[in-house]
Structure 1
Amino acid sequence: MVASARADDAQAPAHTAWAEAVRQALAGRMHHVIEAGRERMARTEYGVASWYGRKFHHRGRTSDGDVFTGTEMTAAHPTLPFGTKVRVTSEDTGRSVVVTVNDRGPFNSRIIDLSRAAAAKLGMMGSGVAHVTVSPLNTAEVAQAQEGDTSAQAVAAAATGSAGTR
């Protein structure tokens, strides 16, 4: 009985004043980061973008845990929540791409780091950087029927643009 109680105590989090102060400080910092990300999702950013991937494959994973491949339309942003989709438009070439934030960075004066694929579509591979506009996408959710769903009610609702009731 005593041995199992000691094992449970070893796995329980410390409840000291110092540990509680650290927990509160980290929670406050995370709240600040989340709020900053929400504020940024509501506005357009202007600045310089770069691309990454040449040596990044040695790290293997992005900040959200995905395996990094430079062939996907992804980006690193310092504060936007993971999974956020943004439109990045090059002011230099006029081209734009939609990327999904799945990593953190850049940690310098640039506003976003793009995957190799996104950078190639924007036409910035040669220079390595571009002046860009990062715009939030409309985040309204859209329902999609399952493949093969031929329900007459669903088809009628889609044709009229209204949701049917049951």
Structure 2
Amino acid sequence: MSLLTDEPRTVGAHSIAFEPPCLAIVRLKGRLREEEIRRLREHMNAGASRQPFTLFLLDLSAAGEVTPGARRYIAHGPLKTPYRGMALFHGSFHARLMAKLLIGALNTFTKLRDNPVALFGSEKDARAWLLERHRKLLHAASPPAVV
């Protein structure tokens, strides 16, 4: 049984939801503080704990400042989620740049591998990319057909 659910949980003004089979959706609204990223990560780790991998969809349309404490925690806090692809959409140039830099730090410090990050102008395009990523990951995990 999967822990994934489509009911969003709120953390401050932000939300996190899960969609089967392996999609985590975070919507940032306003300033992101260290305590909020800690709680979001706790939900992420719990929600993805029984999945072989997690794909991540990040809505930056209403994202605000990321505090220094939150930035440190994103890069160095405990991570149990096996990310295998991240799609970011909407958001200002600054929000997209900050998110891309923080995810780069996350990948480096946590030694995540095979976790591509892509930026999109719409949620539809981001979801399409994640769906294709999911197909590729499943295909790579499938044993070859016996002839």
Tell me, yes or no, whether TM beats 0.5.
no
1 or 2 for the larger relative contact order (CA 8 Å, sep ≥6)?
Answer: 1
Higher Rg: 1
Q: What TM-score do the two structures reach when normalised by structure 2?
A: 0.21
Q: Which is helix-richer, 1 or 2?
A: 2
